[in-house]
Amino acid sequence: MLNKRRWLAAGAALAVVGGGVAAAQTASAGPAPRHCPTLHVSTGWYGENRAKLQKMIDEQGSCSGSDGAQPVATFDWDNTVVKNDISDATLAWMLKHDKVLRPTSWKATNKWLTDDAAAALTKACGTSVPAGRPLPTSTDTDCTDEILDVYNDEKTSGGKEAFAGEWNHRRTVPSYVWITQLFAGHSPDALTSFAAKARKENLAAPIGTQQTVGTHKWAGYVRYYDQQRDLIRTLKKAGFDVWIVSASAEPLVQAWAPGVGIDRHHVIGIRNLVSDGRLTTGVQGCGDVKDTHGEVLTYIDGKRCWINQEIYGVKGAKAWQQQDRAHRAAFAAGDAETDVTFVGDATAGHLAINRNKPELMCRAYDNSDGRWLVNPMFIEPKKRKTDPYPCSTTGYTEPDGTLGPVLRPDGTVVPDQQDRIHG
Q: CA 301 to CA 341: how far, in whole Å?
A: 6
Q: CA 144 to CA 347: how far, in whole Å?
A: 44
pLDDT of the residue at 9: 34
Give yes or no for residue 27 having a pLDDT over 70: no
Q: What angle do CA 203, 270, 118 make, to 5 degrees?
A: 95
Q: CA 197 to CA 199: how far, in whole Å?
A: 5
Give yes or no for residue 230 having a pLDDT over 80: yes
- Which of the 8 DSSP states describes residue 272? E
Give yes or no for residue 15 having a pLDDT over 80: no
pLDDT over 90 percentage in the chain: 89
Residues 150/154/158/160 CA torsion (nearest 10 deg):
130
**What mean pLDDT is reported for the chain?**
92
Average pLDDT over every residue of 107-121: 98
CA-to-CA dists, residue 94 to 108, 139, 181, 252, 367, angstroms: 21, 12, 13, 12, 41
Q: What is the pLDDT of residues 54-68, one digit of tens each?
A: 999 999 999 887 777
Closest CA to 118 of 128, 135, 130, 104: 104
Q: What per-residue string of b and e applies to 323-342 under the rule 16 or more CB within 10 Å gives b? A: beeebbbbbbbbbbbbbbbb
pLDDT band for position 392 (cuts 50, 70, 90)? very high
pLDDT of the residue at 92: 98
Give yes or no for residue 8 having a pLDDT over 60: no
pLDDT of the residue at 63: 85
pLDDT of the residue at 69: 87
Q: Tell me the whole-structure pTM to 2 decimals.
A: 0.91
CA-to-CA dists, residue 234 to 53, 287, 319, 414, angstroms: 10, 32, 29, 33
pLDDT of the residue at 67: 75
Give yes or no for residue 18 having a pLDDT over 70: no
Give yes or no for residue 32 having a pLDDT over 80: no
pLDDT of the residue at 28: 39
Domain boundaries, the chain: 72-84+229-404, 86-219
Average pLDDT over every residue of 395-403: 98
pLDDT of the residue at 34: 58
72-84+229-404, CATH topology level? Rossmann fold (3.40.50)
Exposure on the CB side of residue 220, measured as CA atoms within 13 A:
12
Q: What is the DSSP string of 84-122?
A: S-HHHHHHHHHHHTT-PBPPS-SGGG-TTB-HHHHHHHH
Asked if 317 and 335 touch (Cβ cutoff 8 Å), the reply is no
pLDDT of the residue at 30: 44
Average pLDDT over every residue of 139-150: 98
Average pLDDT over every residue of 195-208: 98
